[in-house]
Chains A and B, each alone.
Chain A
Amino acid sequence: MADTKKLKATSGRAGRKHFGTVMIFLFLFILGAFMALPVYLAVVMSVKPSQEWFIFPPKLYAMDPTLDNFREMFRAAGQLWVPFSRYVANSVIITASVTAAQCFTASMAAFVLAKGKFKGSKFLNSVIVVSLLYQSNVIYIVQYMVIAKLGLIDTYLALILPGIATPMGVFLMRQSIGQIPDAMIEAAKVDGASMFQICWKIVMPNQKPALMTLIIFAFQAAWNIQSGAYVFDESLKTLPTAVSQAAASGIARQGVAMAAAVFMLVPPVIVFMAAQKNVIETMAHSGIKD
Protein backbone atom coordinates (compact mmCIF):
# COMPACT_ATOMS: atom_id res chain seq x y z
CA MET A 1 0.00 0.00 0.00
CA ALA A 2 2.65 2.45 1.10
CA ASP A 3 4.78 1.28 -1.79
CA THR A 4 2.21 2.13 -4.47
CA LYS A 5 1.67 5.52 -2.90
CA LYS A 6 5.36 6.23 -3.11
CA LEU A 7 5.45 5.00 -6.70
CA LYS A 8 2.59 7.30 -7.64
CA ALA A 9 4.29 10.24 -6.03
CA THR A 10 7.54 9.69 -7.90
CA SER A 11 5.81 9.05 -11.21
CA GLY A 12 3.83 12.25 -10.74
CA ARG A 13 7.04 14.09 -10.18
CA ALA A 14 8.64 12.50 -13.21
CA GLY A 15 5.58 13.50 -15.23
CA ARG A 16 5.92 17.09 -14.12
CA LYS A 17 9.58 17.02 -15.06
CA HIS A 18 8.68 15.53 -18.44
CA PHE A 19 6.13 18.27 -19.05
CA GLY A 20 8.76 20.84 -18.13
CA THR A 21 11.15 19.36 -20.67
CA VAL A 22 8.54 19.65 -23.41
CA MET A 23 7.94 23.30 -22.50
CA ILE A 24 11.68 23.97 -22.60
CA PHE A 25 11.87 22.32 -26.00
CA LEU A 26 9.02 24.46 -27.34
CA PHE A 27 10.58 27.63 -25.97
CA LEU A 28 14.00 26.83 -27.44
CA PHE A 29 12.39 25.81 -30.71
CA ILE A 30 10.65 29.17 -31.12
CA LEU A 31 13.70 31.18 -30.06
CA GLY A 32 15.93 28.97 -32.20
CA ALA A 33 13.70 29.60 -35.20
CA PHE A 34 14.20 33.33 -34.75
CA MET A 35 17.95 32.88 -34.34
CA ALA A 36 18.17 30.69 -37.42
CA LEU A 37 15.92 32.89 -39.55
CA PRO A 38 18.64 35.28 -40.83
CA VAL A 39 20.93 32.38 -41.74
CA TYR A 40 18.00 30.63 -43.41
CA LEU A 41 17.15 33.80 -45.32
CA ALA A 42 20.77 34.14 -46.43
CA VAL A 43 20.60 30.63 -47.88
CA VAL A 44 17.24 31.34 -49.55
CA MET A 45 18.45 34.59 -51.08
CA SER A 46 21.63 32.99 -52.31
CA VAL A 47 19.52 30.70 -54.52
CA LYS A 48 16.91 33.30 -55.48
CA PRO A 49 16.97 34.27 -59.17
CA SER A 50 17.20 38.03 -59.71
CA GLN A 51 13.64 38.34 -61.05
CA GLU A 52 12.27 37.19 -57.69
CA TRP A 53 14.04 39.94 -55.74
CA PHE A 54 11.34 42.53 -56.05
CA ILE A 55 8.24 40.44 -55.49
CA PHE A 56 5.99 41.99 -52.91
CA PRO A 57 5.43 40.86 -50.21
CA PRO A 58 8.95 39.36 -49.92
CA LYS A 59 8.77 35.56 -49.80
CA LEU A 60 10.44 33.32 -47.26
CA TYR A 61 11.48 30.83 -49.94
CA ALA A 62 12.73 30.81 -53.51
CA MET A 63 10.06 29.79 -56.04
CA ASP A 64 12.56 28.83 -58.68
CA PRO A 65 15.89 28.18 -56.95
CA THR A 66 19.05 28.60 -59.00
CA LEU A 67 22.80 28.47 -58.52
CA ASP A 68 23.33 31.55 -60.71
CA ASN A 69 24.44 33.71 -57.78
CA PHE A 70 27.19 31.25 -56.92
CA ARG A 71 28.25 31.04 -60.57
CA GLU A 72 28.29 34.83 -60.78
CA MET A 73 30.38 35.00 -57.60
CA PHE A 74 33.00 32.58 -58.95
CA ARG A 75 32.99 34.40 -62.28
CA ALA A 76 33.35 37.87 -60.75
CA ALA A 77 36.01 36.72 -58.29
CA GLY A 78 37.85 34.97 -61.13
CA GLN A 79 38.02 38.25 -63.02
CA LEU A 80 39.90 40.02 -60.25
CA TRP A 81 43.23 39.67 -62.09
CA VAL A 82 44.09 36.28 -60.61
CA PRO A 83 42.14 33.00 -60.80
CA PHE A 84 39.65 32.19 -58.04
CA SER A 85 41.63 29.13 -57.01
CA ARG A 86 44.47 31.44 -56.00
CA TYR A 87 42.32 33.09 -53.31
CA VAL A 88 41.20 29.71 -52.05
CA ALA A 89 44.82 28.55 -51.91
CA ASN A 90 45.85 31.72 -50.05
CA SER A 91 43.15 31.28 -47.44
CA VAL A 92 43.92 27.59 -47.03
CA ILE A 93 47.65 28.29 -46.61
CA ILE A 94 47.02 31.06 -44.10
CA THR A 95 44.35 29.17 -42.14
CA ALA A 96 46.48 26.02 -41.97
CA SER A 97 49.62 27.93 -40.92
CA VAL A 98 47.88 29.97 -38.24
CA THR A 99 46.06 26.94 -36.84
CA ALA A 100 49.12 24.68 -36.81
CA ALA A 101 51.42 27.33 -35.36
CA GLN A 102 48.86 28.27 -32.74
CA CYS A 103 48.42 24.65 -31.62
CA PHE A 104 52.16 24.14 -31.40
CA THR A 105 53.02 27.30 -29.49
CA ALA A 106 49.92 27.34 -27.28
CA SER A 107 50.28 23.70 -26.23
CA MET A 108 53.82 24.14 -24.94
CA ALA A 109 53.12 27.50 -23.34
CA ALA A 110 49.94 26.22 -21.68
CA PHE A 111 51.68 23.12 -20.33
CA VAL A 112 54.47 25.18 -18.83
CA LEU A 113 52.07 27.74 -17.38
CA ALA A 114 49.92 25.01 -15.84
CA LYS A 115 52.61 22.65 -14.56
CA GLY A 116 56.04 24.24 -14.82
CA LYS A 117 57.93 25.46 -11.77
CA PHE A 118 59.84 28.62 -12.58
CA LYS A 119 60.18 32.19 -11.45
CA GLY A 120 57.59 34.41 -13.05
CA SER A 121 55.02 31.66 -13.56
CA LYS A 122 52.46 33.38 -11.38
CA PHE A 123 53.03 36.71 -13.08
CA LEU A 124 52.72 35.28 -16.59
CA ASN A 125 49.53 33.44 -15.66
CA SER A 126 47.92 36.64 -14.47
CA VAL A 127 49.11 38.46 -17.60
CA ILE A 128 47.29 35.87 -19.71
CA VAL A 129 44.06 36.32 -17.74
CA VAL A 130 44.23 40.11 -17.98
CA SER A 131 45.06 40.04 -21.67
CA LEU A 132 41.87 38.09 -22.37
CA LEU A 133 40.47 41.63 -22.30
CA TYR A 134 42.93 42.85 -24.91
CA GLN A 135 42.53 40.29 -27.64
CA SER A 136 40.06 42.61 -29.29
CA ASN A 137 40.37 45.11 -32.09
CA VAL A 138 41.50 47.81 -29.66
CA ILE A 139 45.16 47.26 -30.48
CA TYR A 140 44.56 46.89 -34.19
CA ILE A 141 46.02 50.21 -35.23
CA VAL A 142 49.25 49.98 -33.29
CA GLN A 143 49.54 46.36 -34.40
CA TYR A 144 49.47 47.63 -37.94
CA MET A 145 52.35 49.98 -37.20
CA VAL A 146 54.40 47.10 -35.75
CA ILE A 147 53.71 44.93 -38.80
CA ALA A 148 54.71 47.79 -41.09
CA LYS A 149 57.92 48.43 -39.09
CA LEU A 150 58.87 44.75 -39.39
CA GLY A 151 58.57 45.07 -43.16
CA LEU A 152 55.87 42.41 -43.37
CA ILE A 153 53.39 44.39 -45.46
CA ASP A 154 52.55 42.58 -48.69
CA THR A 155 53.65 39.16 -47.48
CA TYR A 156 51.80 36.12 -46.16
CA LEU A 157 53.54 36.69 -42.84
CA ALA A 158 51.59 39.92 -42.23
CA LEU A 159 48.44 37.80 -42.14
CA ILE A 160 49.86 34.75 -40.37
CA LEU A 161 52.14 35.99 -37.58
CA PRO A 162 49.71 38.26 -35.68
CA GLY A 163 47.17 35.44 -35.46
CA ILE A 164 49.46 32.89 -33.85
CA ALA A 165 49.53 33.90 -30.19
CA THR A 166 46.06 34.39 -28.76
CA PRO A 167 45.61 34.69 -24.99
CA MET A 168 42.33 32.79 -25.21
CA GLY A 169 43.94 29.78 -26.87
CA VAL A 170 46.62 29.49 -24.21
CA PHE A 171 44.10 30.19 -21.47
CA LEU A 172 41.69 27.40 -22.51
CA MET A 173 44.55 24.95 -22.99
CA ARG A 174 46.08 25.83 -19.63
CA GLN A 175 42.78 25.29 -17.83
CA SER A 176 42.41 21.89 -19.43
CA ILE A 177 45.98 20.75 -18.71
CA GLY A 178 45.57 22.00 -15.14
CA GLN A 179 43.16 19.09 -14.54
CA ILE A 180 45.93 16.53 -14.97
CA PRO A 181 47.16 15.32 -11.55
CA ASP A 182 50.58 16.64 -10.55
CA ALA A 183 51.57 13.16 -9.45
CA MET A 184 51.57 12.02 -13.07
CA ILE A 185 54.02 14.75 -14.04
CA GLU A 186 56.21 14.08 -11.01
CA ALA A 187 56.34 10.37 -11.77
CA ALA A 188 57.51 11.09 -15.29
CA LYS A 189 60.17 13.45 -13.93
CA VAL A 190 61.46 10.74 -11.58
CA ASP A 191 61.75 8.49 -14.61
CA GLY A 192 64.07 11.10 -16.07
CA ALA A 193 61.76 12.66 -18.67
CA SER A 194 62.40 16.28 -19.57
CA MET A 195 59.60 18.86 -19.53
CA PHE A 196 59.59 18.83 -23.30
CA GLN A 197 59.13 15.06 -23.40
CA ILE A 198 56.44 15.12 -20.71
CA CYS A 199 54.55 17.77 -22.66
CA TRP A 200 54.49 15.96 -25.98
CA LYS A 201 54.60 12.30 -24.92
CA ILE A 202 52.43 12.24 -21.81
CA VAL A 203 50.25 15.32 -21.58
CA MET A 204 49.34 16.21 -25.15
CA PRO A 205 48.12 12.75 -26.23
CA ASN A 206 45.43 13.16 -23.54
CA GLN A 207 44.48 16.65 -24.62
CA LYS A 208 42.65 15.89 -27.84
CA PRO A 209 39.44 17.73 -26.82
CA ALA A 210 41.36 20.85 -25.86
CA LEU A 211 43.35 20.71 -29.06
CA MET A 212 40.18 20.35 -31.13
CA THR A 213 38.72 23.39 -29.37
CA LEU A 214 41.83 25.37 -30.12
CA ILE A 215 41.62 24.28 -33.75
CA ILE A 216 38.01 25.42 -34.00
CA PHE A 217 38.63 28.89 -32.60
CA ALA A 218 41.85 29.32 -34.57
CA PHE A 219 40.18 28.10 -37.76
CA GLN A 220 37.22 30.46 -37.37
CA ALA A 221 39.47 33.44 -36.79
CA ALA A 222 42.00 32.62 -39.51
CA TRP A 223 39.41 31.67 -42.12
CA ASN A 224 37.84 35.12 -41.81
CA ILE A 225 41.09 37.11 -42.00
CA GLN A 226 40.59 40.06 -44.32
CA SER A 227 43.80 40.88 -46.11
CA GLY A 228 42.63 44.48 -46.55
CA ALA A 229 45.20 46.79 -45.01
CA TYR A 230 48.11 44.36 -44.96
CA VAL A 231 48.36 43.05 -48.50
CA PHE A 232 48.09 44.97 -51.75
CA ASP A 233 49.45 42.33 -54.09
CA GLU A 234 46.33 40.78 -55.65
CA SER A 235 47.88 37.31 -55.74
CA LEU A 236 48.27 37.31 -51.95
CA LYS A 237 44.74 38.41 -51.04
CA THR A 238 42.52 36.11 -49.03
CA LEU A 239 39.18 34.55 -49.88
CA PRO A 240 37.05 36.80 -47.62
CA THR A 241 38.54 39.87 -49.28
CA ALA A 242 37.98 38.43 -52.76
CA VAL A 243 34.38 37.43 -52.15
CA SER A 244 33.53 40.78 -50.62
CA GLN A 245 35.11 42.49 -53.64
CA ALA A 246 33.11 40.22 -55.92
CA ALA A 247 29.94 40.90 -53.99
CA ALA A 248 30.51 44.63 -54.36
CA SER A 249 31.14 44.52 -58.10
CA GLY A 250 28.73 41.89 -59.50
CA ILE A 251 25.54 42.80 -61.33
CA ALA A 252 23.11 40.95 -59.10
CA ARG A 253 24.91 42.48 -56.13
CA GLN A 254 22.80 41.30 -53.22
CA GLY A 255 22.34 37.79 -54.51
CA VAL A 256 26.07 37.42 -54.99
CA ALA A 257 26.76 38.89 -51.55
CA MET A 258 24.46 36.24 -50.06
CA ALA A 259 26.12 33.49 -52.04
CA ALA A 260 29.48 34.73 -50.77
CA ALA A 261 28.32 34.82 -47.15
CA VAL A 262 26.86 31.32 -47.36
CA PHE A 263 29.95 30.00 -49.15
CA MET A 264 32.25 31.40 -46.43
CA LEU A 265 30.08 30.06 -43.60
CA VAL A 266 30.09 26.43 -44.70
CA PRO A 267 33.64 25.37 -43.67
CA PRO A 268 33.52 26.76 -40.09
CA VAL A 269 30.10 25.20 -39.54
CA ILE A 270 31.35 21.81 -40.70
CA VAL A 271 34.44 22.04 -38.50
CA PHE A 272 32.32 23.06 -35.52
CA MET A 273 29.82 20.23 -36.05
CA ALA A 274 32.61 17.70 -36.30
CA ALA A 275 34.17 18.80 -33.06
CA GLN A 276 31.28 20.04 -30.94
CA LYS A 277 31.56 17.30 -28.34
CA ASN A 278 35.25 18.03 -27.80
CA VAL A 279 34.57 21.73 -27.49
CA ILE A 280 31.99 21.29 -24.76
CA GLU A 281 34.32 18.98 -22.87
CA THR A 282 37.14 21.54 -22.99
CA MET A 283 35.09 24.59 -22.22
CA ALA A 284 34.08 22.92 -18.95
CA HIS A 285 37.55 23.85 -17.65
CA SER A 286 37.43 27.37 -19.03
CA GLY A 287 36.47 28.93 -15.72
CA ILE A 288 38.42 31.75 -14.11
CA LYS A 289 38.95 31.00 -10.45
CA ASP A 290 39.22 34.16 -8.45
Chain B
Amino acid sequence: MKSAPEKKKKSSYRSESAECWLMLAPFLIFFVVFTVIPVLISIPVGFTDFDMINTPEFTGLSNYKNLFLSDRTFIHSIRVTLIFAVFSGPVSYVLCFMLAWLINELPSFLKTVFTLIFYVPSMANVYTVWQLIFSGDQYGYANSFLLDLGIITSAKQWLTDTQYILFVVILVQLWISLGAGFLALRAGFQNIDKSMYEAGAIEGIKNRWQELVYITIPAMKPQMLFAAVMQIVAAFTADIVGRNLVGFPSTDYAAHTIMTHAYDYGWVRYEMGYSSAICTVLFLIMFGANKLITKILAKED
Protein backbone atom coordinates (compact mmCIF):
# COMPACT_ATOMS: atom_id res chain seq x y z
CA MET B 1 0.00 0.00 0.00
CA LYS B 2 1.25 3.45 -0.83
CA SER B 3 1.87 6.03 1.81
CA ALA B 4 -0.51 8.96 2.05
CA PRO B 5 1.82 11.80 0.90
CA GLU B 6 2.90 9.81 -2.14
CA LYS B 7 -0.71 9.26 -3.08
CA LYS B 8 -1.44 12.93 -2.67
CA LYS B 9 1.53 13.84 -4.85
CA LYS B 10 0.35 11.51 -7.55
CA SER B 11 -3.17 12.83 -7.59
CA SER B 12 -1.93 16.42 -7.68
CA TYR B 13 0.27 15.48 -10.63
CA ARG B 14 -2.75 14.04 -12.36
CA SER B 15 -4.86 17.13 -11.73
CA GLU B 16 -2.04 19.37 -12.94
CA SER B 17 -1.80 17.25 -16.03
CA ALA B 18 -5.50 17.62 -16.70
CA GLU B 19 -5.30 21.36 -16.15
CA CYS B 20 -2.36 21.60 -18.55
CA TRP B 21 -4.30 19.91 -21.32
CA LEU B 22 -7.28 22.14 -20.63
CA MET B 23 -5.10 25.23 -20.99
CA LEU B 24 -3.50 23.87 -24.12
CA ALA B 25 -6.85 23.06 -25.70
CA PRO B 26 -7.72 26.47 -27.21
CA PHE B 27 -4.38 26.63 -29.01
CA LEU B 28 -4.30 22.97 -29.92
CA ILE B 29 -7.74 22.96 -31.49
CA PHE B 30 -6.81 25.71 -33.96
CA PHE B 31 -3.32 24.35 -34.45
CA VAL B 32 -4.58 20.85 -35.24
CA VAL B 33 -7.44 21.96 -37.48
CA PHE B 34 -5.55 24.52 -39.55
CA THR B 35 -1.95 23.27 -39.49
CA VAL B 36 -1.62 19.62 -38.47
CA ILE B 37 -4.61 18.29 -40.40
CA PRO B 38 -3.69 20.12 -43.63
CA VAL B 39 -0.16 18.75 -43.38
CA LEU B 40 -1.44 15.23 -42.74
CA ILE B 41 -4.08 15.42 -45.48
CA SER B 42 -1.73 16.72 -48.13
CA ILE B 43 0.39 13.56 -47.96
CA PRO B 44 -2.35 11.05 -48.91
CA VAL B 45 -3.96 13.51 -51.35
CA GLY B 46 -0.65 13.44 -53.20
CA PHE B 47 -1.40 9.84 -54.18
CA THR B 48 -4.74 10.70 -55.76
CA ASP B 49 -6.33 12.49 -58.65
CA PHE B 50 -8.48 15.20 -57.08
CA ASP B 51 -10.13 18.27 -58.61
CA MET B 52 -11.91 19.51 -55.44
CA ILE B 53 -15.34 18.57 -56.84
CA ASN B 54 -15.34 14.82 -57.47
CA THR B 55 -14.17 12.32 -54.86
CA PRO B 56 -10.41 11.80 -54.96
CA GLU B 57 -9.38 8.79 -56.99
CA PHE B 58 -6.42 6.74 -55.81
CA THR B 59 -3.72 6.67 -58.46
CA GLY B 60 -0.77 5.28 -56.55
CA LEU B 61 2.60 6.77 -57.36
CA SER B 62 1.53 8.20 -60.70
CA ASN B 63 1.71 11.85 -59.54
CA TYR B 64 5.27 11.35 -58.36
CA LYS B 65 6.18 9.45 -61.50
CA ASN B 66 4.85 12.29 -63.62
CA LEU B 67 6.65 14.86 -61.52
CA PHE B 68 10.08 13.37 -61.85
CA LEU B 69 9.85 11.60 -65.20
CA SER B 70 7.70 13.70 -67.49
CA ASP B 71 7.12 17.15 -65.96
CA ARG B 72 10.05 19.11 -67.30
CA THR B 73 8.75 22.35 -65.82
CA PHE B 74 8.92 20.75 -62.38
CA ILE B 75 12.53 19.68 -62.85
CA HIS B 76 13.22 23.21 -64.04
CA SER B 77 11.43 24.63 -60.98
CA ILE B 78 13.65 22.55 -58.67
CA ARG B 79 16.67 24.09 -60.33
CA VAL B 80 15.23 27.60 -59.99
CA THR B 81 14.36 26.99 -56.33
CA LEU B 82 17.84 25.72 -55.54
CA ILE B 83 19.54 28.63 -57.30
CA PHE B 84 17.18 30.93 -55.49
CA ALA B 85 17.73 29.29 -52.10
CA VAL B 86 21.51 29.08 -52.48
CA PHE B 87 21.78 32.77 -53.33
CA SER B 88 19.04 34.33 -51.23
CA GLY B 89 19.30 32.06 -48.15
CA PRO B 90 22.95 32.31 -47.11
CA VAL B 91 23.37 35.88 -48.36
CA SER B 92 20.37 37.05 -46.41
CA TYR B 93 21.52 35.09 -43.35
CA VAL B 94 24.95 36.68 -43.46
CA LEU B 95 23.32 40.05 -44.06
CA CYS B 96 21.04 39.61 -41.04
CA PHE B 97 23.98 38.61 -38.89
CA MET B 98 26.33 41.33 -40.09
CA LEU B 99 23.77 44.11 -39.81
CA ALA B 100 22.67 42.96 -36.37
CA TRP B 101 26.30 42.92 -35.25
CA LEU B 102 27.15 46.34 -36.68
CA ILE B 103 23.97 47.95 -35.36
CA ASN B 104 24.77 46.64 -31.92
CA GLU B 105 28.07 48.57 -31.93
CA LEU B 106 26.24 51.89 -32.22
CA PRO B 107 24.79 54.15 -29.52
CA SER B 108 21.25 53.31 -28.48
CA PHE B 109 19.35 55.99 -30.43
CA LEU B 110 21.01 54.95 -33.70
CA LYS B 111 20.31 51.31 -32.87
CA THR B 112 16.60 52.04 -32.83
CA VAL B 113 16.70 54.04 -36.07
CA PHE B 114 18.72 51.51 -38.06
CA THR B 115 16.71 48.54 -36.79
CA LEU B 116 13.57 50.26 -38.05
CA ILE B 117 15.11 51.12 -41.44
CA PHE B 118 16.26 47.56 -42.09
CA TYR B 119 13.09 45.93 -40.76
CA VAL B 120 10.50 48.06 -42.57
CA PRO B 121 10.94 46.36 -45.99
CA SER B 122 9.80 43.04 -44.50
CA MET B 123 6.48 44.70 -43.62
CA ALA B 124 6.03 46.49 -46.93
CA ASN B 125 4.12 45.17 -49.92
CA VAL B 126 5.58 47.60 -52.42
CA TYR B 127 6.05 45.45 -55.50
CA THR B 128 4.75 48.25 -57.68
CA VAL B 129 7.69 50.43 -56.73
CA TRP B 130 10.12 47.70 -57.70
CA GLN B 131 8.32 47.34 -61.00
CA LEU B 132 8.92 51.04 -61.59
CA ILE B 133 12.55 50.83 -60.56
CA PHE B 134 13.15 47.94 -62.97
CA SER B 135 10.74 49.13 -65.61
CA GLY B 136 11.95 48.12 -69.10
CA ASP B 137 11.80 51.60 -70.64
CA GLN B 138 14.05 54.53 -69.93
CA TYR B 139 11.62 55.83 -67.31
CA GLY B 140 12.67 53.00 -65.04
CA TYR B 141 15.01 54.24 -62.32
CA ALA B 142 17.54 51.44 -62.80
CA ASN B 143 17.74 51.98 -66.55
CA SER B 144 17.85 55.76 -66.27
CA PHE B 145 20.56 55.65 -63.63
CA LEU B 146 22.74 53.08 -65.40
CA LEU B 147 22.33 54.83 -68.77
CA ASP B 148 23.36 58.06 -67.13
CA LEU B 149 26.53 56.53 -65.77
CA GLY B 150 27.24 54.92 -69.11
CA ILE B 151 27.29 51.42 -67.63
CA ILE B 152 24.66 50.25 -70.10
CA THR B 153 24.04 51.68 -73.54
CA SER B 154 20.42 50.69 -74.06
CA ALA B 155 17.46 50.17 -71.73
CA LYS B 156 17.42 46.63 -70.30
CA GLN B 157 14.24 44.56 -69.99
CA TRP B 158 14.86 43.66 -66.35
CA LEU B 159 11.49 42.01 -65.77
CA THR B 160 11.06 40.09 -69.02
CA ASP B 161 14.58 39.25 -70.19
CA THR B 162 15.42 35.78 -68.87
CA GLN B 163 18.99 36.91 -68.32
CA TYR B 164 17.96 39.29 -65.52
CA ILE B 165 14.66 37.98 -64.12
CA LEU B 166 16.09 35.70 -61.46
CA PHE B 167 18.64 38.29 -60.43
CA VAL B 168 15.97 40.94 -59.92
CA VAL B 169 13.67 38.59 -57.99
CA ILE B 170 16.52 37.46 -55.72
CA LEU B 171 17.45 41.09 -55.09
CA VAL B 172 13.92 42.00 -54.01
CA GLN B 173 13.65 38.82 -51.93
CA LEU B 174 16.86 39.85 -50.13
CA TRP B 175 15.41 43.28 -49.58
CA ILE B 176 12.38 41.92 -47.71
CA SER B 177 14.28 39.17 -45.92
CA LEU B 178 15.37 41.06 -42.79
CA GLY B 179 12.42 39.89 -40.70
CA ALA B 180 12.01 37.87 -37.50
CA GLY B 181 15.41 36.22 -37.94
CA PHE B 182 17.10 39.62 -38.11
CA LEU B 183 15.29 40.77 -34.95
CA ALA B 184 16.31 37.58 -33.15
CA LEU B 185 19.97 38.14 -34.01
CA ARG B 186 19.72 41.83 -33.08
CA ALA B 187 18.39 40.78 -29.68
CA GLY B 188 21.00 38.07 -29.33
CA PHE B 189 23.82 40.61 -29.68
CA GLN B 190 22.16 43.02 -27.32
CA ASN B 191 21.71 40.36 -24.69
CA ILE B 192 25.30 39.19 -24.44
CA ASP B 193 26.70 39.79 -21.00
CA LYS B 194 29.09 42.75 -21.23
CA SER B 195 31.33 41.27 -18.56
CA MET B 196 32.18 38.47 -20.99
CA TYR B 197 33.98 41.04 -23.16
CA GLU B 198 35.85 42.44 -20.19
CA ALA B 199 36.92 38.95 -19.27
CA GLY B 200 37.91 38.40 -22.88
CA ALA B 201 40.05 41.54 -22.91
CA ILE B 202 42.00 40.19 -19.96
CA GLU B 203 42.46 36.89 -21.76
CA GLY B 204 44.11 38.78 -24.62
CA ILE B 205 41.29 39.44 -27.07
CA LYS B 206 42.31 42.52 -28.99
CA ASN B 207 39.76 43.61 -31.57
CA ARG B 208 36.12 43.43 -32.56
CA TRP B 209 36.81 40.57 -34.93
CA GLN B 210 38.28 38.35 -32.23
CA GLU B 211 35.45 39.30 -29.90
CA LEU B 212 33.02 38.16 -32.58
CA VAL B 213 34.68 34.80 -33.19
CA TYR B 214 35.60 33.81 -29.64
CA ILE B 215 32.85 35.34 -27.52
CA THR B 216 29.85 36.52 -29.50
CA ILE B 217 29.17 33.66 -31.90
CA PRO B 218 29.40 30.89 -29.29
CA ALA B 219 27.03 32.83 -27.04
CA MET B 220 24.52 33.41 -29.82
CA LYS B 221 24.16 29.90 -31.16
CA PRO B 222 20.47 29.52 -30.17
CA GLN B 223 19.42 32.75 -31.91
CA MET B 224 21.50 31.82 -34.92
CA LEU B 225 19.64 28.54 -35.18
CA PHE B 226 16.26 30.26 -34.95
CA ALA B 227 17.26 32.76 -37.63
CA ALA B 228 18.48 29.91 -39.83
CA VAL B 229 15.09 28.20 -39.63
CA MET B 230 13.35 31.46 -40.59
CA GLN B 231 15.69 32.04 -43.54
CA ILE B 232 15.32 28.45 -44.79
CA VAL B 233 11.54 28.73 -44.83
CA ALA B 234 11.68 32.07 -46.62
CA ALA B 235 14.24 30.94 -49.21
CA PHE B 236 12.59 27.64 -50.13
CA THR B 237 8.98 28.81 -50.23
CA ALA B 238 9.71 31.96 -52.23
CA ASP B 239 6.97 32.50 -54.76
CA ILE B 240 4.93 35.61 -54.06
CA VAL B 241 7.72 38.06 -54.84
CA GLY B 242 8.30 36.46 -58.22
CA ARG B 243 4.64 36.29 -59.16
CA ASN B 244 4.05 39.91 -58.21
CA LEU B 245 7.18 41.27 -59.80
CA VAL B 246 7.72 39.46 -63.08
CA GLY B 247 4.23 38.06 -63.54
CA PHE B 248 2.86 34.54 -63.70
CA PRO B 249 4.06 32.63 -65.55
CA SER B 250 7.35 34.45 -65.92
CA THR B 251 9.11 34.57 -69.29
CA ASP B 252 10.40 31.05 -70.05
CA TYR B 253 9.53 30.15 -66.45
CA ALA B 254 12.70 31.98 -65.38
CA ALA B 255 11.34 32.68 -61.87
CA HIS B 256 9.20 29.53 -61.63
CA THR B 257 9.96 28.03 -58.20
CA ILE B 258 8.56 24.78 -56.79
CA MET B 259 6.07 26.85 -54.82
CA THR B 260 4.97 28.64 -57.99
CA HIS B 261 4.49 25.25 -59.61
CA ALA B 262 2.29 24.13 -56.71
CA TYR B 263 0.33 27.37 -57.02
CA ASP B 264 -0.10 26.75 -60.73
CA TYR B 265 -1.58 23.27 -60.25
CA GLY B 266 -3.49 24.05 -57.05
CA TRP B 267 -5.08 27.43 -57.73
CA VAL B 268 -5.03 27.71 -61.49
CA ARG B 269 -5.66 24.16 -62.72
CA TYR B 270 -7.40 22.73 -59.64
CA GLU B 271 -5.33 19.55 -59.74
CA MET B 272 -5.08 19.14 -56.00
CA GLY B 273 -3.54 15.69 -56.03
CA TYR B 274 -0.68 16.81 -58.20
CA SER B 275 -0.27 20.05 -56.27
CA SER B 276 -0.15 18.16 -52.95
CA ALA B 277 2.53 15.87 -54.34
CA ILE B 278 4.59 18.95 -55.24
CA CYS B 279 4.14 20.36 -51.72
CA THR B 280 5.17 17.05 -50.18
CA VAL B 281 8.39 17.07 -52.20
CA LEU B 282 9.01 20.65 -51.04
CA PHE B 283 8.42 19.58 -47.40
CA LEU B 284 11.04 16.90 -47.73
CA ILE B 285 13.57 19.27 -49.29
CA MET B 286 13.02 21.84 -46.53
CA PHE B 287 13.18 19.22 -43.82
CA GLY B 288 16.47 17.97 -45.22
CA ALA B 289 17.90 21.48 -45.50
CA ASN B 290 16.88 22.19 -41.92
CA LYS B 291 18.53 19.02 -40.61
CA LEU B 292 21.69 19.87 -42.55
CA ILE B 293 21.90 23.45 -41.27
CA THR B 294 21.17 22.38 -37.70
CA LYS B 295 23.99 19.89 -37.91
CA ILE B 296 26.44 22.42 -39.31
CA LEU B 297 25.59 25.05 -36.70
CA ALA B 298 25.64 22.56 -33.84
CA LYS B 299 29.03 21.23 -34.95
CA GLU B 300 30.81 24.55 -34.83
CA ASP B 301 31.55 24.21 -31.13
Q: Assess whether A32 is interfacial by the CB under 8 Å rule.
A: yes
Q: A108-B27, A220-B123, A288-B226 are in contact. Are A45 and B262 (CB under 8 A)?
A: no
B105 touching A21 by the CB < 8 A rule? yes
Bitwise interface map of B from 111 to 154 toward A, beta carbon under 8 Å scored 1, else 0: 01011111111011110111011000011110010001000000
Q: Assess whether B212 is interfacial by the CB under 8 Å rule.
A: no
B286 touching A283 by the CB < 8 A rule? no
Instruction: Determine the distance from Cα of A31 to Cα of B174 in the docked complex, in whole angstroms.
Output: 13
Q: Looking at chain B's contact residues, is the secondary structure mostly helix, strand, loop, or mixed?
A: helix
Q: Assess whether B1 is interfacial by the CB under 8 Å rule.
A: no
Bitwise interface map of A from 23 to 34 toward B, beta carbon under 8 Å scored 1, else 0: 011011001100
Q: Assess whether A133 is interfacial by the CB under 8 Å rule.
A: yes
Instruction: Determine the distance from Cα of A193 to Cα of B100 in the docked complex, in whole angstroms.
Output: 42
Q: Assess whether A132 is interfacial by the CB under 8 Å rule.
A: yes
Instruction: Determine the distance from Cα of A199 to Cα of B24 in the docked complex, in whole angstroms.
Output: 12
In this complex, the interface size class of chain B, counting residues with CB under 8 Å from chain A, is 35 or more
Number of chain A residues whose Cβ lies closer than 8 Å to a Cβ of chain B: 91
Q: A21-B106, A164-B30, A165-B35 are in contact. Are A137 and B239 (CB under 8 A)?
A: yes
- Among B16, B114, B141, B239, which residue has its beta carbon within 8 angstroms of that of A28? B114
A133 touching B287 by the CB < 8 A rule? yes
Bitwise interface map of B from 159 to 187 toward A, beta carbon under 8 Å scored 1, else 0: 00000000000000001000010011011
B20 touching A199 by the CB < 8 A rule? no
B275 partner residues in chain A, CB cutoff 8 A: 141
Chain A residues with a Cβ under 8 A of chain B: 20-21, 24-25, 27-28, 31-32, 35-36, 38-39, 41-42, 45, 53-54, 56-58, 104-106, 108-109, 111-113, 116-119, 121, 124, 131-143, 145-147, 150, 161-162, 164-165, 167-168, 170, 194-196, 199, 217, 220, 224, 229, 240, 247, 254, 257-258, 261, 264-265, 268-269, 272-273, 276-277, 279-284, 286-290
A-B contact pairs, 24 of them (CB 8 A): A24-B102, A28-B99, A32-B114, A35-B118, A38-B133, A57-B144, A112-B23, A131-B36, A132-B229, A133-B233, A139-B42, A146-B34, A164-B34, A247-B128, A258-B128, A261-B126, A261-B128, A273-B116, A276-B115, A276-B116, A280-B190, A284-B187, A284-B190, A286-B226
